[in-house]
Structure 1
Amino acid sequence: MHDHATVSAGARHVGRLTIAVGLVAVTFVVELVVALLTGSLALLSDAGHLATDLAGLVMALAAIRIAATGRASTALTYGWHRLEILAALGNSLLLLGIAGFVVFEAFRRLGAPPDLEPVPLLVVATLGLVVNLVTAALLRDGAEESINLEGARLEVLADAVGSVGVIVAAVVILVTGWTGADTVVALAVAAWVLPRALRLGYRALRVLVQAAPEGLDLVAVSDELADLDGVAGVHDLHAWTLTSGLDVASVHMQLRPAADPHAVLHAVERTLTEHHGIVRTTVQLEPDEHDCGPEEVC
C-alpha cells in the first residue's frame, strides 16, 4: 500500500492562519473585557461574533493540521484530507446561523431599539476592523487556493463588514441619538453574509458528493484522452476533488494491439496533470476486444 504524501493547498498557508488565530483571539479578549467593564450589551454581542470567528479559524487550522499529519491507513485510504472540506461546510453553517440570528434579533428590535453607548462601541469596533483587515490580508492568497481557508477568510470579512457597520451606526447614534441605526446596519450585514455563506456551503457539498471539479469538462477530457496514440477507446472516466488543490481521477483505457502500455500510461498521466491539474490518477489499461483474434483471450 503506497502512502502518497501530497500537501494540500491549505497546508501551504498554515503559518498565516496561525497568526490570524492569534490576532482574533487577542481582539476577542479585549472586546470581552471592555464589554464586561462598561456593561455594554452591544459590545458583548460583538465579542460573541468574534468568538464565532475564532471558532471558525481554529476549526480550519485544526482540520489542516490533522489532514497534514494524519497518515493514510487501510481504513482511511486518503488520510484526513476531507476534514478541510468538512471545516469549510461547518464555517458555512456557522455563518448562516449568525446571519439568521442577526435577522431575527433585528426584527425583534425594530419596535423598541435598545439604548446603546456609542463611544465604547466606536472605539472597539475600530479596533476590530483593523484586526479583521489585517487577518483577511493574511488569508487572501490561501483563500484563492483552499475552500477551507476561503471559509475562514469569509468569517473574518463578515466581521469586518460588521465592524464597518457598527462604526457607522455608532457615529449616527453619537450625532443624532437614533439607536435604530444599529438595527438597519445589522440587516445590511446579514444580507451581505447570506449569499456568500450559501456559495461556500454549495462548493463544500460539491466536494463531499464527489462531483467533478469545478470548470472541468469530462466530455472534453475523454475526447482528449481518446486522441492519444495507441488508444482505441475511453470509458469509466471519473474525476473528483479530495480537498482543495488535490483533484484525482480514474479511467479505463482500451489499447490498440500495437500500443505501448507504458507510453499510453505516461501520456494519460501527463495529459491529466499538465492540462487539467489532476495530481493523482488511477489508470486501468485494457486491450480492445474488437481487435482480438478468435484464438485470443481479451
Structure 2
Amino acid sequence: MSHSHDHPDTVDEAHAAGNAHGHDHDLRGADKNRVLLVALLTGGFMVIEALGGVLTGSLALLADAGHMLTDSIALWLAWWAFRLAERPATGRHTYGYGRVKTLVAYTNGVGIFVIALWIVYEAVTRFFSPGPVLGGPMLLVALAGLAVNIGGFLILRGGNRESLNMRGAILHVLGDLLGSVAAIVAALVILATGWTPIDPILSVLVAVLILSTAWSLMREAAHLLLEGAPANIDRDGIAADLAANVEGVKEINHMHVWSLDGEKTLATLNARLAEGANPIAAVTAIKSRLAAKHGIDHATVEPEFSTGAGGENEHRH
C-alpha cells in the first residue's frame, strides 16, 4: 500500500509540497487571528447591546444581543479549533485535529438554529403583548452595533471562505449585521409612527433568514462528518478517468473520497492493473493525475492484478 504524502516522487514535487504546506499554514494562522479579533469585538459590544435592549425595551436589540452572545462563544470555539488543528498528528489521532473545525462548524449551526427559534418565540409573545420601546436610544445602540458588525464581517471576509469553520464564523457575524439593520429600521419606524409591533416583526424576518443559512451550514458539516464525498467530487467519474487515461490501469475499484474539513480531499482506491504493468509506475501516475486533474493530493493506492471476489465495478458501490 502506498501513501502519496510520505515520499514525494521528485525534488520538485517535494519543494512544491513544502511551499503549499507553508502557504496553507500561513492562511490558517491569518484566519485564526481574524477570528480572535472579531470574537473580542463581538463579545465587548454584546454587553453594551444587552444593556441597551433592557433600558429601551427593544426585542430587536435583546435578540441581537442574545445572538451576539452565542456568536461570541462560537467565535471563541472557532479560534480554539484553529489552534487545535495546528497540532501535529499522533499515534492515536493519525489525521491530526483538522476535523475539530468541522465539529465546531456543526455546533455553530446548531447554536444559530436554537437562537433563531428563540427569537421567533419571543417575537410572537411581544407581538400580542407589546410594551413601550424607546426609539431614540434604540437607534443609537443599533447604529453602533451595525458599525461593529460591518467591521467584523470585513475582517472575516478576507479569510479562507472554503473553510467550514471560517464560513460558520462569517455566518454568525452576518446574522448580527442583519439584526442591527432590523433594529435600525424598527427604531426609525417607532420614532416616526410610534408603532412598536414593527420591532418583533423585523426580529422574525431576521430569524427566518438566519435559519435558512444555519440549516445549510449544518447539512454540509454533517455530510463531512459522515465521510461523504465533497460536493465538487464525482467519484465514479474520477475512477473512469483514471482507468481510461493511466497506462496499465484496467479498472479502479473500492474507491473512497472524503474530506476532514471541507478544504483537503483524501482518497483510497484499488487499481486493477493489466498483466505486465509496472505497479510502481502505475501508482505514481495515478497519484499524479489525481493531484493535477482532480485536486486530490493525499491518496492511498493499492495495486492488484486480479479482480478478487466481487471485483468488477466495485467503485460503483
Between the two proteins, the alignment pairs up a number of residues equal to 287
After the TM superposition, which of the residue ranges 10-19 and 179-188 deviates more from structure 2? 10-19
- Answer whether contact 1:103 1:187 (CA < 8 A) is retained: yes
In the alignment, which residue of structure 2 is the partner of 1:15? 33
In the alignment, which residue of structure 2 is the partner of 1:293? none
- Which one of the candidate residues 138, 141, 145 is aligned to 1:121? 138
In the alignment, which residue of structure 1 is the partner of 2:12? none
- Which one of the candidate residues 68, 80, 102 is aligned to 1:62? 80
In the alignment, which residue of structure 2 is the partner of 1:294? none
- Answer whether contact 2:265 2:297 (CA < 8 A) is retained: yes
Structure 1 SS opposite 2:252: strand
- Answer whether contact 1:252 1:284 (CA < 8 A) is retained: yes
- Residues 11-70 of structure 1 show CA distances to partners (whole Å, capped at 9, x for unaligned) of 55222222212221232243345557x47564455332211111111111111111112x
In the alignment, which residue of structure 2 is the partner of 1:80? 97
Give the letter aligned to residue 210 of structure 1. E
Give the letter aligned to residue 252 of structure 1. N
In the alignment, which residue of structure 1 is the partner of 2:70? 52
Alpha-carbon distance between aligned partners in 2 of 1:102 and 1:32, rounded to the nearest angstrom: 14
- Residues 55-108 of structure 1 show CA distances to partners (whole Å, capped at 9, x for unaligned) of 111111111111112x22222111111110011101100110011001111111
How do 1:202-213 residues align onto structure 2 when only pairs under 5 Å count?
A: 202-213=219-230
Structure 2 SS opposite 1:107: helix
- Which one of the candidate residues 270, 274, 283 is aligned to 1:252? 270
In the alignment, which residue of structure 2 is the partner of 1:130? 147
- Answer whether contact 2:130 2:196 (CA < 8 A) is retained: yes
**2:249 is equivalent to residue 231 of structure 1:** yes
Give the letter aligned to residue 286 of structure 2. V
- Answer whether contact 2:81 2:101 (CA < 8 A) is retained: yes
- Residues 271-298 of structure 1 show CA distances to partners (whole Å, capped at 9, x for unaligned) of 11122222311111112469xxxxxxxx
- Answer whether contact 2:149 2:176 (CA < 8 A) is retained: yes
Give the letter aligned to residue 242 of structure 1. L
**Higher RCO, 1 or 2 (CA under 8 Å, sep at least 6)?**
2
Alpha-carbon distance between aligned partners in 2 of 1:133 and 1:229, rounded to the nearest angstrom: 54
**Unaligned regions of 5+ residues in structure 2, if any?**
7-17, 309-317
TM-score by length of 2: 0.84
Give the letter aligned to residue 103 of structure 1. V
Give the letter aligned to residue 214 of structure 1. A
- Which one of the candidate residues 172, 190, 202 is aligned to 2:207? 190
Alpha-carbon distance between aligned partners in 2 of 1:170 and 1:41, rounded to the nearest angstrom: 9
What percentage of aligned pairs have identical amino acids?
34
TM-score by length of 1: 0.89
In the alignment, which residue of structure 1 is the partner of 2:118? 101
Alpha-carbon distance between aligned partners in 2 of 1:29 and 1:67, rounded to the nearest angstrom: 30
In the alignment, which residue of structure 2 is the partner of 1:295? none
Give the letter aligned to residue 243 of structure 1. D
Alpha-carbon distance between aligned partners in 2 of 1:184 and 1:143, rounded to the nearest angstrom: 35
Structure 1 residues 179 and 40: alpha-carbon distance in aligned structure 2, compared to 1, 3 A threshold:
closer
- Answer whether contact 2:57 2:133 (CA < 8 A) is retained: yes
Give the letter aligned to residue 73 of structure 1. T
**Unaligned regions of 5+ residues in structure 1, if any?**
291-298
Structure 1 residues 154 and 289: alpha-carbon distance in aligned structure 2, compared to 1, 3 A threshold:
closer
